[in-house]
Amino acid sequence: MNHEATRTEPIVSPTVRSSNLELFRILLMLMIIAHHYVVNSEIADFFNPTHPTANMLFMTLYGWGGKTGINCFVLITGYFMCQKSFSWQKFFKLVFEVQFYTTVIYLLFLLSGRSFSWGELYQMLLAIPLGVGQSFVGSFLCLYLLIPFVNKLIHSMNEREFRYLLILLVGIYSVIGTFIPFGFYENIAWFVVIYLIGSYIRLYGMPIFSKHSFLFMATSLITAMASILLLFYFFKYRGINTSIWDTYYFVSNSNKIMALLCSVSMFLFFKDLKMKNNRWINKIATATFGVLLIHGNSDAMREWLWGDVLKNASFYNSSYMWLHALLSVLLVYLVCVVIDLLRIRFVEKPIFKAFDSRKSLSLGE
C-alpha cells in the first residue's frame, strides 16, 4: 500500500525537532510530576470525600493527568516512528539510561545510610524486566522492540482496514475497559493501540478533529474535570470514604475513555500549533525521559523526594498548599533536567562516541 497518495499530514524533518511537540513533551512531564506529587506522597492518604476541603479538591484536580500524559508520549512515538527504521543504538541508549539512573540512585541511597535490602538490590538489577507489562519504562522498551513488526502491519493495510482495526481495538480496550471493566488491561498491548493511533494520525490525519483541535481539546479536558468533580461529590453525598483513584476513575488508567480522548485531543492541538523553532525548548525537552527516570526512580526516591525533602504532607492543611505544589513540580523538573543534560554531555555522548569509533574501526571505515 502506497501511503504517499493518501497522506494528509505534513512531512516532518527527521533532523529538526518540532518545537511545538517538544513544548508539548515538557508540559506533559510537568503534568506527570504533578500527578506524582499527589499520588506518590502521603497527600493521597488524606483523601476523604466525606469531609472535603479546598486543598483536597485542589489536589484532586491537580494530580489528574498522569495516565493521560503517558498516552501522549506513546502517541508521539507512533507519530514519528511509523515512518522510521528501527535503531538498535537508540534502543541501547534507552536501556543504558534506565539502568544508569537505577544503579546510580540505588548506590547513592546506600552511601547516604539507607539500610541494605536484598529486595531493593533485586529490583535495581532487574528493573527493566520487572517493569515489563507493569511500569511505563519496561513496557515502553518492549513496545520499542515491537516497532518493526507493528510498522509492517501498518504499511500492509489500507486506510479503511486501519480505521476498522482502530475502532475494534479502542472499542475493546477503552470503551469496554471503561464501562464494563473486567481487569484485562495490560500496558504493552495498550501501548501498541496508542502507537497505532499515533501512526494513523501521521499517515491519514483526523481532519474533522484537527480542524477544531482547540475545541476538541477543551471539551475533552472539561469533561474529564467534570467527571472527577461529579465522582468526588457523589462519594461526598453518599457518605462513601474511598480512595482518590476512584474519583479519578475515567482517567485512572491509560485505557480509560477520558484519558484516551484527552490525550488524542491534546496531541492534535499541539501537533498543529504554529510556533517558531526554539533551540532552548528543544534542548530542555531532550531530558524529558531522564526527568521521569530520576524523580520516579524507586520507592526510596519517592519517599525521600516527596516526604523528606519537599514534605508534601506537612503542607496539606496550609493556605499555601497550592503554591508549594506548583513550585515543587517546577523545581523537580528543573533539577532533573540539569542532571540529565549533564549525564548526556559527560556520560552518554563519550560512551556512545567511543562505541561508534570502535564500530567504524572494526568495519574498516
**Residue 79 and residue 147 in contact, taking contact as beta carbons nearer than 8 Å:** no
Whole-number pLDDT of residue 361: 55
Whole-number pLDDT of residue 239: 94
Whole-number pLDDT of residue 147: 98
Sorted by sequence, the CB contacts under 8 Å of residue 298 that are 6+ apart come out as 102, 105, 106, 120, 123, 124
Sorted by sequence, the CB contacts under 8 Å of residue 16 that are 6+ apart come out as 277
Q: What's at 38, amino acid-wise?
A: V
What pLDDT digit, counting tens, does each position of 115-166 carry?
999 999 999 999 999 998 889 999 999 999 999 999 999 999 999 999 999 9
Give residue 186's pLDDT band: very low, low, confident or very high (50, 70, 90): confident
Q: Which three cell numbers stand for residue 153?
A: 502491519
Whole-number pLDDT of residue 117: 92
In Å, how far from its chain's centre is CA 87?
21
Q: Which three cell numbers stand for residue 116?
A: 541494605
Hunting for cell 517538544 — which residue is that?
22
Residue 5 has pLDDT above 60, yes or no: no
* CA separation for the pair 247, 346 (Å, rounded): 44
* CA separation for the pair 330, 30 (Å, rounded): 7
What pLDDT digit, counting tens, does each position of 263-314 carry?
999 999 999 999 999 999 999 999 999 999 999 999 999 999 999 999 999 9
**Residue 24 and residue 52 in contact, taking contact as beta carbons nearer than 8 Å:** no
Give residue 199's pLDDT band: very low, low, confident or very high (50, 70, 90): very high
Whole-number pLDDT of residue 3: 44
Residue 30 has pLDDT above 80, yes or no: yes
Whole-number pLDDT of residue 247: 97
What pLDDT digit, counting tens, does each position of 308-343 carry?
999 999 999 999 999 999 999 999 999 999 999 999
What pLDDT digit, counting tens, does each position of 113-123 carry?
999 999 999 99
Whole-number pLDDT of residue 183: 63
Phi and psi torsions of 126, nearest 5°: -115, 35
Three-state SS across the chain? Answer: CCHHHCCCCCCCCCCCCCHHHHHHHHHHHHHHHHHHHHHCCHHHHHCCCCCCCHHHHHHHHHCCCHHHHHHHHHHHHHHHHCCCCCCHHHHHHHHHHHHHHHHHHHHHHHHCCCCCCHHHHHHHHCHHHHHCCCCHHHHHHHHHHHHHHHHHHHHHCCHHHHHHHHHHHHHHHHHHHHHCCCCCCCHHHHHHHHHHHHHHHHHHCCHHHHHCHHHHHHHHHHHHHHHHHHHHHHHHHHCCCCCHHHHCHHHCCCCCHHHHHHHHHHHHHHHCCCCCCCHHHHHHHCCHHHHHHHHCCCHHHHHHHHHHHCCHHHHCCCCCHHHHHHHHHHHHHHHHHHHHHHHHHHHHHHHHHHHHHHHHHHCCC
Q: Which three cell numbers stand for residue 277?
A: 523553532
Sorted by sequence, the CB contacts under 8 Å of residue 104 that are 6+ apart come out as none
Give residue 180's pLDDT band: very low, low, confident or very high (50, 70, 90): confident
CA-based radius of gyration for the chain: 21
Whole-number pLDDT of residue 295: 98
**Residue 94 and residue 63 in contact, taking contact as beta carbons nearer than 8 Å:** no
What pLDDT digit, counting tens, does each position of 56-103 carry?
999 999 999 999 999 999 999 999 999 999 999 999 999 999 999 999
Mean pLDDT of 26-37: 98
The C-alpha angle with vertex 65 and arms to 334 and 170, in degrees rounded to 5, equals 130
